[in-house]
Structure 1
Amino acid sequence: MRASVLFDVPGPKAIRRNRLLGVATIVVVIAVLAFIVVQLANAGQFDAKRWSIFTYPLVWAKVGSGLISTLSAFALASVLSLLFGLLLAIGRLSEHRWVSVPVGWITELCRAVPLLILMMLIYYGLPTVGVQGITPFAAVVVGLTVYNGSVLAEVFRSGIESLPKGQAEAGYSIGLRKAGVMRLILLPQAVKAMMPVIISQLVVILKDTALGFIVTYEELLYVAKSLGTQAAFGYPIIPSAMAIGAIYIGLCLVLSGFATWLQRRLSRSRR
């Protein structure tokens, strides 16, 4: 059996042990899921009365409206987060300390503030200091952009700094300025190298749109909360959460599938 420097091929005993651990893990997971299902059934969460709310077209129209709101906030926040993160990363890499130091403090501050508090400050706090006209959509998008943009800034910065110094030196040797080296040589390679991390952060943005319910933004979680308070259907909180959760899972799987396709395409283009 061959072994690499970082990984030894497991022997027969290790293989049997790993298989037993795998089987035990599966059994435990199934047991936990079965326990949860039984408890939900005993609580009447699978009663037809609670699930009958999803037989009405108006309910699905409301869910569709929430889905559009979620995707709208996600799409705009994703683009703005990438641009904001790129801008912060370039600022932190600046050779001028009067640029890199303030940008570094801004980046760390934006990362340190919890996203939920950030949205609340934008929507509820800014009007108290005279800034009017803040809509729930604007609060959600700005909050997502500021927080996730600061996280992506570190992703871009680490990707650029991980490249060999010879890449930049080669650009300077053929007469490119720093902006040209960054735009034509460093950024394309950094983005390709950090693509899995970037896609992972986009998935985070998609899920974080659910925090918009705290500022009354009518996205999917807001719709689920509204449906779960319907007394005529026995307060179907769990059915609503399960249905909306399935939609979130589907969206994340689609985005992950797109990430896999993009990674393979980029790999082929590098070859």
Structure 2
Amino acid sequence: MSASVLFDTPGPKARFRNLVYSVVGSIGLAALIAWVCYRLYDKGQFAGELWDIFNYAGIRENILDALMSTLKVFALAGLFSLVFAVLLCVARLSDHKPVRWVAVVFIDLFRSIPLLITIFALWVGILGHMTPMWALVLGLTIYNGCVQAEVLRAGVNSVPKGQVEAAYALGLRKTQVTASVLFPQAVRAMLPSIISQLVVTLKDTSLGYIILYPELLYSARLIANNTPVGGVYPTVQTVIVFGAIYISLCLALAWLAKFVEQRGSRSKAGIVPAGAKELEEAAAPAAPEAKGPDGTAPPSK
């Protein structure tokens, strides 16, 4: 579809106005960046000695411990949310109306409630005393499990109906059809979306600082607010270091999603459909077996 179908081709005046808007916007953005940099420089945030705090063994150990805490919560929440998503998806697709409606209400409810409220409610004891780590894990599991359940349901609905009918024709029960036909193809089709949601789970671990869980953002806040150098707090340096850690983790998961997607595309591309000649040969009746004069098959050479 050409661009002229979507919108009118701009004339000379429109192109001139667009050019003026672009130049003015670029100048304004550059001025804003320059003003922010000047303010940071005026506050001493660009001083080189502010980076020295990251040479201390205690600071490095604190960052490493925070990274391990973040990865631990992410691993637990990611695993539990996937298992929970499978259970919710099965209930969502159930033939029993009460089970299906309970799953629908649960999914819609916890997808509507902000994740921070769920985590905070678990931490203050809505289900009894709970440590910050498990409040964070359970909150992430509930929310992301609901989202992943809808992703899996979309994958199940994308499976051609003919495959399900063929499975039932072979005498498989619904449990066998779901486990052997529907879910494997649904996971394969929706794997990039599943991994993308895992990236969201990783970033949402930063909400743990609200409930005093010592993850990366909590550690960054402690370092930025409690390690002044010459009366200047290393705010910019801390943001850069911890931002680089978050970006590296998210890029690793994004690379994994891209790798899995390319792997799946290569697998599908390797399946070559049969041509007309192959189909004719498969449909042709087998040639009659040659027999000797006495009616028996000749001996093999």
Change (3 A) 1:45 1:232: closer
Match of 1:4 in 2: none
Find the structure with the greater CA-based Rg: 2
Query: How big is the shift at 1:124?
Result: 1.0
Change (3 A) 1:189 1:35: farther
Residues 152 and 190 in structure 2, CA contact (< 8 A), matched pair in contact too? yes
Query: How big is the shift at 1:27?
Result: 5.4
Change (3 A) 1:28 1:244: farther
Q: Which amino acid aligns with 2:109?
A: L
Relative to the length of structure 2, the TM-score reads: 0.77
**Equivalents in 1 of 2:41, 2:109: separation in Å?**
46
Query: How big is the shift at 1:147?
Result: 0.5
RMSD across aligned positions (CA): 2.4
Asked whether 1:258 is paired with 2:252, we answer: no
Where does structure 2 lack aligned partners over 5 or more consecutive residues?
Answer: 270-301
Structure 1 stretches of 4+ with a deviation exceeding 3 A read 7-10, 24-30, 32-39
Task: Provide, for residues 138-196 of structure 1, a one-character-per-residue CA deviation record: whole Å limited to 9, x for no partner.
Answer: 01110100011011111111121122211211111111111111111111111122122
Q: Which amino acid aligns with 1:41?
A: Y
Relative to the length of structure 1, the TM-score reads: 0.85
Query: How big is the shift at 1:9?
Result: 7.4
Change (3 A) 1:136 1:40: same
Match of 2:72 in 1: 72
Query: How big is the shift at 1:30?
Result: 7.6
3-state SS, counterpart of residue 262 of structure 1 = helix
Residues 91 and 100 in structure 2, CA contact (< 8 A), matched pair in contact too? yes
Match of 1:94 in 2: 94
Q: How many correspondences in the alignment?
A: 254
**Equivalents in 2 of 1:270, 1:201: separation in Å?**
24
Asked whether 1:201 is paired with 2:210, we answer: no
Q: Within 5 Å, give how 1:26-37 maps onto structure 2.
A: 31=30, 33=33, 35-37=35-37
3-state SS, counterpart of residue 263 of structure 2 = helix
Asked whether 1:165 is paired with 2:161, we answer: yes
More helix by share: 1
Match of 2:218 in 1: 222
3-state SS, counterpart of residue 232 of structure 1 = coil
Q: Which amino acid aligns with 1:253?
A: L
Residues 213 and 221 in structure 1, CA contact (< 8 A), matched pair in contact too? yes
Q: Which amino acid aligns with 1:201?
A: Q
3-state SS, counterpart of residue 202 of structure 2 = helix
Change (3 A) 1:253 1:29: farther
Q: Which amino acid aligns with 1:249?
A: I
Query: How big is the shift at 1:34?
Result: 5.0
Where does structure 1 lack aligned partners over 5 or more consecutive residues?
Answer: 1-6
Q: Within 5 Å, give how 1:141-152 maps onto structure 2.
A: 141-152=137-148
Q: Which amino acid aligns with 2:46?
A: F
Residues 192 and 260 in structure 2, CA contact (< 8 A), matched pair in contact too? no
Residues 123 and 131 in structure 2, CA contact (< 8 A), matched pair in contact too? yes
Residues 167 and 177 in structure 2, CA contact (< 8 A), matched pair in contact too? yes
Asked whether 1:235 is paired with 2:229, we answer: no
Match of 1:50 in 2: 50
**Equivalents in 2 of 1:44, 1:259: separation in Å?**
41
Change (3 A) 1:193 1:34: farther
Query: How big is the shift at 1:37?
Result: 3.4
Specify which structure has the bigger relative contact order, considering alpha-carbon pairs within 8 angstroms and separated by 6 or more residues.
Answer: 1
3-state SS, counterpart of residue 176 of structure 1 = coil
